[in-house]
Amino acid sequence: MSGNIDWSQLITKAAKDAEVAAAERAAAVQIEDAWRLKETAFIADQLIGIEDGDPAALPGTEAEWRAYRTKVRNWKEGAQFFPDLTHRPIRPA
């Protein structure tokens, strides 16, 4: 062994921090993708409930739920603030 340091193998704090941030973002993306799929199914049920006059349907008109569905479908990679769950689309009230 020559005792020389291979500086190309050096791992910096910045590199470690970037790796942690990337892993956290990947986990957040998975959570938001799963939420989007679940919420899309929920919206479909709501629209059927509204169409059928179901008293158990949540508040909101058909147009409001359709507009919400569009926002939910667009909540994916490339959307502003995605995957920050505090910026998810909000259900009609």
For residue 5 the two structure tokens come to: 């340091």
CA distances from 27 to 12, 13, 20, 83 (A): 23, 21, 11, 9
Query: How confident is residue 4, by pLDDT bands cut at 50, 70 and 90?
Result: confident
pLDDT digits (tens, 9 = 90+) for 6-50: 887 888 888 899 999 999 999 999 999 999 999 999 999 999 999
The answer to the question of residue 92 being in a domain is no
The answer to the question of residue 5 being in a domain is no
* This prediction's pTM: 0.82
List the domain range (segments joined by +) for residue 73: 12-87
CA 37 to chain centre: 10
Domain total of the chain: 1
The answer to the question of residue 6 being in a domain is no
Supply the mean pLDDT for the chain: 94
CA distance 49 to 20: 43
The answer to the question of residue 1 being in a domain is no
CA distance 35 to 85: 10
The answer to the question of residue 55 being in a domain is yes
DSSP reduced 3-state for 33: helix
